[in-house]
């Protein structure tokens, strides 16, 4: 009797798992889901920040053609503002978190520039996905605390990302969240990660790029994270966003210069010759 029931139980378990997976997937189409970003015809550009960013004009548009899109550029070129704006346009709080999460106290002057810029933009989807996350290193701790409190309120086990080191907590968080279908925004995720931990994130991003199981839009200064095979690398400059390659980025060339002869590099840097 047991022998006959076991396969039935197994089949039920597999059926249950598949049903659960189907429940968390809203589409069988591959990423990218957000296909295009463009400026609304009725947007009034110019004037004050963020509408005066040098690359933003009426013709600005950005096509997403790969599951993983990586945005690079110098400090102050507008990467964070752009990521915040796209995240806000997709329904995320510009302070970071999941949809509907308001983990930060917005009464205390959190910058609204991303949401402001979102009002000038239009998004085209195929299909529109509603799951995902906006990861910002600076708000990770309040988000993690919020997740623990929300789990406790629901009498569930808290995810407890904070009882790990910063880097370990970040990587655990990425592994847990980004294994699900959705759109994920990452703003400089390397900030708490050692180069070795960045490799763990690189592997995860590579898997997402290969399987097209989620869409990632990430701003980074890390040459390791820029190196996801197959991902589209865009450099943000005053003139706009241009497609580039890892070895052409200033970040890569600078690190290459440094590692090939650190003493000479530092010497030149101290004389302000780099
Ligand atoms: N609230 C604000 N008011 C006015 N200017 C701002 C404001 N926030 C940012 N800026 C300016 O807008 C530009 C873009 O800022 P942003 O933070 O998006 O750059 P970034 O490329 O993400 O830089 P980083 O690499 O340092 O994170 C910068 O010149 C910055 O000084």
Lookup result for tokens 């070129």: 77
**Domains of the chain and any CATH numbers:** 27-246 (3.40.50.300)
Q: How far is the CA of 112 from the centre of ligand 1 (A)?
A: 12
**Residue 2's CB: how many other CB atoms inside 10 A?**
6
Euclidean distance between CA atoms 203 and 171, whole angstroms: 11
- Burial grade of 13 (CB within 10 A; 0-12, 13-18, 19 or more): exposed
Nearest CA, atom 6, ligand 1: 49
Q: CA-based Rg of the chain, rounded to a whole angstrom?
A: 21
Instruction: Give pLDDT, residue 138.
Output: 73
Contacts 24+ apart (CB under 8 A), 240-243: 240/55, 240/60, 241/55, 241/62, 241/71
Q: How far is the CA of 80 from the centre of ligand 1 (A)?
A: 7
Ligand 1 pocket: which of 72, 73, 76 to mutate (most atoms within 8 A of CB): 76
Nearest CA, atom 29, ligand 1: 76
Query: Three-state DSSP class for 242?
Result: strand
| Predicted TM-score of the model (pTM) | 0.84
**Ligand 1 atom with minimal separation from the 188 CA:** 27
**Residue 165's CB: how many other CB atoms inside 10 A?**
12
Instruction: Give pLDDT, residue 1.
Output: 33
Lookup result for tokens 């950005």: 62
Euclidean distance between CA atoms 160 and 73, whole angstroms: 34
Q: How far is the CA of 119 from the centre of ligand 1 (A)?
A: 18
Q: How far is the CA of 82 from the centre of ligand 1 (A)?
A: 10
Nearest CA, atom 11, ligand 1: 76
**Ligand 1 atom with minimal separation from the 236 CA:** 21
Instruction: Give pLDDT, residue 101.
Output: 55
Q: How far is the CA of 224 from the centre of ligand 1 (A)?
A: 23
Q: How far is the CA of 66 from the centre of ligand 1 (A)?
A: 26
CB proximity list for 229: less than 8 A, separation 6 or greater:
206, 209
Euclidean distance between CA atoms 215 and 31, whole angstroms: 5
Nearest CA, atom 17, ligand 1: 80
Nearest CA, atom 7, ligand 1: 49
Please give all residues whose beta carbon lies within 6 A of any atom in ligand 1, as ranges: 49, 73, 75-81, 111, 113
Query: Three-state DSSP class for 52?
Result: coil
pLDDT by residue for the chain (274 residues), tens digit each? 333 333 333 333 334 433 444 455 678 999 999 999 999 999 988 888 999 999 999 999 999 999 999 999 999 999 999 999 999 998 887 666 666 555 544 443 346 678 899 999 999 999 998 888 888 877 777 777 777 777 788 888 777 776 767 778 888 888 888 889 999 999 999 988 899 999 999 999 999 999 999 999 999 999 999 999 999 999 999 889 999 999 999 999 999 999 999 999 999 999 999 8
CB proximity list for 27: less than 8 A, separation 6 or greater:
33, 127, 129, 181
Angle between helices 195-211 and 166-177 (to 10 degrees): 10
């Amino acid at each position: 009797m047991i022998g006959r029931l076991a396969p039935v139980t197994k089949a039920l378990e597999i059926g249950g798992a598949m049903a659960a997976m189907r429940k968390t997937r809203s589409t069988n189409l591959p990423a990218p889901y957000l296909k295009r970003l463009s400026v609304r015809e009725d947007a009034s550009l110019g004037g004050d920040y963020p509408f005066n960013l040098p690359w933003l004009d009426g013709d600005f548009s950005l096509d997403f053609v790969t599951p993983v899109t990586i945005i690079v550029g110098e400090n102050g070129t507008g990467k964070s503002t752009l990521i915040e704006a796209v995240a806000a346009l997709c329904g995320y709080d510009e302070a970071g978190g999941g949809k509907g999460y308001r983990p930060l106290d917005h009464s205390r002057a959190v910058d609204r520039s991303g949401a402001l810029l979102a009002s000038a933009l239009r998004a085209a989807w195929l299909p529109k996905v509603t799951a995902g996350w906006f990861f910002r290193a600076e708000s990770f701790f309040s988000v993690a605390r919020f997740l623990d409190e929300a789990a406790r309120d629901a009498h569930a086990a808290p995810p407890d990302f904070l009882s790990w080191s910063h880097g370990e907590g970040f990587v655990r968080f990425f592994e847990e969240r980004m294994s699900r279908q959705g759109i994920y925004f990452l703003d400089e995720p390397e900030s708490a990660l050692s180069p070795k931990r960045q490799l763990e994130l690189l592997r995860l991003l590579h898997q997402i790029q290969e399987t097209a199981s989620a869409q990632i839009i990430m701003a980074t200064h890390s040459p390791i994270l820029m190196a996801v095979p197959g991902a589209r690398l865009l450099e943000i400059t005053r003139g706009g966003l241009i497609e580039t390659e890892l070895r052409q980025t200033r970040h890569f060339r600078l690190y290459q210069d440094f590692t090939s002869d650190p003493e000479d590099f530092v010497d030149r840097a101290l004389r302000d010759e780099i």
